[in-house]
Amino acid sequence: MLATMVLAGLLAAAPTAPDEPRPDVPIADFEGPEYGAWKATGEAFGDAPARGTLPGQMTVEGYRGQGLVNSFHGGDDATGELTSPPFRIERTHLNFLIGGGGWIGETCLDLLVDGKVVRSAIGPNREPGGSEKLRWDAWDVKDLQGREATLRVVDRRKGGWGHINVDHIVQTDEPKAPAHASRSIALTHQYLTIPVKTGAPKVRAKILDESGSILREFDVELAPAREKPDFLAASDLEAHKGKTLTVRVDELEDAKILEGIGQDARGLDRPGLYGEPHRPQLHFTSRVGWLNDPNGLVWQDGEYHLFYQHNPFGWGWGNMHWGHAVSPDLVTWTELPIAIYPHQYGDWAFSGSALVDHQNTSGFQKGDRPPLVAAYTSTGRGECIVYSNDRGRTWTEFEGNPVVKHEGRDPRILWYAPGKHWVMVVYDEDAKAKRESLDFYTSPDLKAWTFASRLDGFFECPDLFELAVDGDLNKSLWVVYGADAQYKLGTFDGKTFTPTSGPDKLAFRHGNFYAAQTFSDEPKGRRIQIGWAREVTFPGSPFNQQMALPAELTLRSTKDGPRIIAEPVAELKALRADSCEFSRMTLEPGADNPLSRRSHSLLAFSPLARLQIPIQSKSVNDLGRAEKYDGHSCEIELSFRPGAAKFLELDLLGTPLVYDVERQDVVCKQVRTFVPQVDGVVDLHVFVDRGSIEVFAGGGRTAISVAATQGETDHELGLAAKGGAVRLEKLVVHRLRSAWETRDAR
C-alpha cells in the first residue's frame, strides 16, 4: 500500500476527546506513482494517476498536489473503471474534487455498499466548451457510518466529455461546500470593470439583475484583494444603467476581492491602449483577453468586418463570445463591442460566418439596407442564425434556431448564384464511425436547411469559394479547406463538391496558422483570407494571440497543376514609412564589400560579408505628423540567386530565417518547407512584427507564420552567405509604421 494512497479501513483512527472535532480520514490523494490497491480495468485510466493534463485535453486545473484520476488516457472514446479496496465509513461526510463529463451513470464517482450504488456524483460538462476545472463536492453518509464500502470511478461514455476527473477523497465531519460571495452595485455607468490576474484561481461569476435573472455568467481569474490586476475586463451593461445589479461568485473565500469590481463610462478604451511593450503593430489583437478563430469575415458599406472567437474575461481560452472589429482598409482596425454573447453559461458562441442578404431572401431586412446575417455554432443547441440591420452593431436571434442540429460545428454560408440558393458547409463528426467530414446543406431563405452531400477527410472551420485559374473565369475551380488550411480543388454544383486535384490534400500555409476564413462580398472581387496565428502568445500582456496578416488568394498554373498563391494585400504598403533598396550586388563570404563605405540610415556592410541593417528607434515624418519607430516592425523584399552558396541566412531581430540551397527549403524555427528556385531565383517577402514573423515565399506559393519574440536589445537585421557567393537581385527594407497609430491619424 502506497503511503499517499491511504485507505481508511486499513488504519485505526486515533481516539479523540468527546468535545474535540474528529480529524479527517484520507481515502486517496493519488500522489503516488501507481494506483496501489485500486484496480483499473479498460484503457481510460491508464496504469497510474495522471500528472495533470493529458495529451489532447484542455488544461486541467483545480486538483491538489501533482496527481489525480483522469480518464482521458486515449481520449474521450476510451472507457474503463477504477475501483478502490473496501474501507469502513467512519465520518458523516465524504469530500472529493470532481470534474469532467456530466453523464449520469457513465462519467461518475460511485459509492457502493453491499455491491449497490448508494451515492453518485458527476462532472459539470455535457456540451462543447466547458471547463476541466475540478470542484468540491460532498456526500452526506451519516446513515452509512460503520458500514463497509468501496468507491468506483466510472467512464462508460464515448464522444464529447466522455471522461471523468477525481482527486482528494477524504472522510470528514465538515463537508466541503463551495463558498459564495456577492456584492450589490448601483450601476451609474455603462460598463462594469472586472480586475483579472492571470494565474489566480478561476471562479464562476454571475451578474444578476434586480429580479435575480442572469445577465452575464463567465469564468474569470479575479485579482486578489489589494493586488494590482494584470488587466481590467469590461462588461457592457448600458441597458441596465440606473438599476442595482448583483455580482455573485461561487467558490470565493475572500469576499474582499469583489471590492475591486468597479464601473466606467469608457470600458476598455483608456490611455496606453495599443502602446503596450509587446503589442503587435501590424497584426490585429484584441484590446484585452484571448482571441482565436476569425469568424464572419464580410464587407458592407465601406467596412470590412472581422468577428472572432473571444474571451473578454481572461488571457486564456474560454467564455467564447464573438468579438468584433471593423476596418476601411484591412490594415487599421477599430474594435467594437461584443457582437454575439453565449446563449447561457456552457452554451458558447463558437465559430461561424457572415454574409449580406442582398435580395432579403430571409425577410430579416428592416429599412433600406440589406441585413447582415451570421451563422454560428451554439454549443448547447446547434447551428444558429442571427441578423443585424445596423451594420453589425446589434444582433437579433432567429426565433427558429437551431436551423441545423448535429454533432459538428463552424458553419460557412455562401450564396450559390446558378442555383439561386444558399449553401452551408459545416464540419460534422461521428465518433463511433471515426468519421470527420464537411457536410453541405442548401436553403432558399437561410432559415430552412436541407442536407445535400458529404465530403470526408476534413476537420473543423471549413471554407468554400471559387477562384479563376490565371484570372480566366472560364477556367475557374472551387476550393475547399479545413482548419489546417490544407485544400482540395474541384467542381461544385451547389450541392456536391467533386475533387479534381487528386486524393491528397494540398498545402500552402505552414506554421502558426489555423482556422482561416475569406471575406464575403469583397468590393474589388478579391479573395482575401485572414487566419488565426495560433500559439503566438504574449505572456505578461493583457491580450493573447493574434490574427495573421490579410492575404489575397489567387489560383495559378504550375507544372504540378493549378495551385493557390497567397500574397500580402496591397493595402499593407500604406504602412511603409521609409525604405532602402540595394539591387544587383554579390555577397561574398569573408570579403570586404565596398558598399560598407556607403553612408545610409538603414544599411551597412560588415567586413564579414554580413549585411547588417540597424533599425533602431527613429522619428520619421509622414504627412507632417511625427511618429516614433520602435525598431520591431519591418518588411523585407528579397530576391537572390544562391549560386554556389550552401545557405543564405537572414537574422530577423534575433530569429534566423535560412534558405537551404541543396534541399531548396526555407527554415524558420519549427517550420521547414519546400520553396523551389524559379529560373535560379528565390523570392522571399518577409514581415517582422512584435511576436511573429510571416514569410511569403516563391511568389506566394508558400506562406509561413511563426511565433518570434524579440528581446529589448534586438534592433538589427542581418544577412549572411555561407559556403559560397550569393547574388542579390533585389533587397528592399521598409520601416513600417504602427497600424494603430495610422488608424488614430485618420
Compute the radius of gyration of the chain from its Cα atoms: 29
pLDDT digits 0-9 by tens, 714-732:
567 888 899 999 999 999 9
pLDDT of residue 746: 56
Residue 624 confidence class, pLDDT cut points 50, 70, 90? very low
Phi-psi region of 350 (alpha: psi -120 to 50; beta: other; left: phi over 0): beta
Alpha-carbon torsion angle 226, 228, 229, 230, nearest 10: -160
Q: Which residues contact 494 (CB under 8 A, 6 or more apart)?
A: 416, 418, 419, 421, 423, 442
C-alpha–C-alpha distance, residues 558 and 543, integer Å: 41
Query: Which of the pair, 739 or 514, is modelled with greater confidence?
Result: 514
Q: Which residues contact 140 (CB under 8 A, 6 or more apart)?
A: 92, 93, 175
Architecture of the CATH domain 289-568: 5 Propeller (2.115)
Q: Flag whether pLDDT at 583 surpasses 80.
A: no
**Mean pLDDT computed over every residue of the chain:** 89
φ/ψ of residue 514, rounded to 5: -160, 155
CB atoms within 10 A of CB 259: 12
Return the closest-CA partner of residue 216 out of 245, 195, 188. Answer: 245
Average pLDDT for residues 209-214, to the nearest whole number? Answer: 91
Q: What separation, in Å, do the N-terminal and C-terminal C-alpha atoms of the chain show? A: 72
Q: Are 149 and 169 in contact (CB under 8 A)?
A: no
Residue ranges, comma separated, of all CATH 2.115.10.20 domains in the chain are 289-568
Query: Which of the pair, 315 or 609, is modelled with greater confidence?
Result: 315
Phi-psi region of 93 (alpha: psi -120 to 50; beta: other; left: phi over 0): beta
Q: Which of 155, 293, 463, 683 is catalytic?
A: 293
Q: Which of 92-101, 149-158, 178-187 has the lowest mean pLDDT?
A: 178-187
pLDDT of residue 630: 52
Q: Flag whether pLDDT at 13 surpasses 90.
A: no
Q: Flag whether pLDDT at 360 surpasses 70.
A: yes
Architecture of the CATH domain 570-745: Sandwich (2.60)
User: What percent of the chain has a predicted confidence (pLDDT) above 70?
Assistant: 90
Residue 743 confidence class, pLDDT cut points 50, 70, 90? low
C-alpha–C-alpha distance, residues 359 and 521, integer Å: 13
Cell reading at 241 = 444603467
pTM for this prediction: 0.80
Average pLDDT for residues 17-22, to the nearest whole number? Answer: 67
pLDDT of residue 44: 97
Q: Flag whether pLDDT at 66 surpasses 60.
A: yes
Q: Flag whether pLDDT at 213 surpasses 70.
A: yes
Cell reading at 260 = 475591486
pLDDT digits 0-9 by tens, 67-78:
999 999 999 999
> Is 329 known to be catalytic?
no
Query: Which of the pair, 595 or 553, is modelled with greater confidence?
Result: 553
Residue ranges, comma separated, of all CATH 2.60.120.560 domains in the chain are 570-745
- Spell out a b/e string for 370-407, using b for 16 or more CB atoms within 10 Å of the CB, else e: bbbbbbbbbbbebbbbbbbbeebeebeebeebbbbebe
pLDDT of residue 252: 80
- Spell out a b/e string for 58-89, using b for 16 or more CB atoms within 10 Å of the CB, else e: bebebbeeebbbbbbbbbbebbbbbbbeebbb
CATH of domain 8-172: 2.60.120.260
Q: Which of 42-51, 369-378, 481-490, 721-730 has the lowest mean pLDDT?
A: 721-730
Q: Which of 345-359, 442-456, 606-620 has the lowest mean pLDDT?
A: 606-620
Residue ranges, comma separated, of all CATH 2.60.120.260 domains in the chain are 8-172
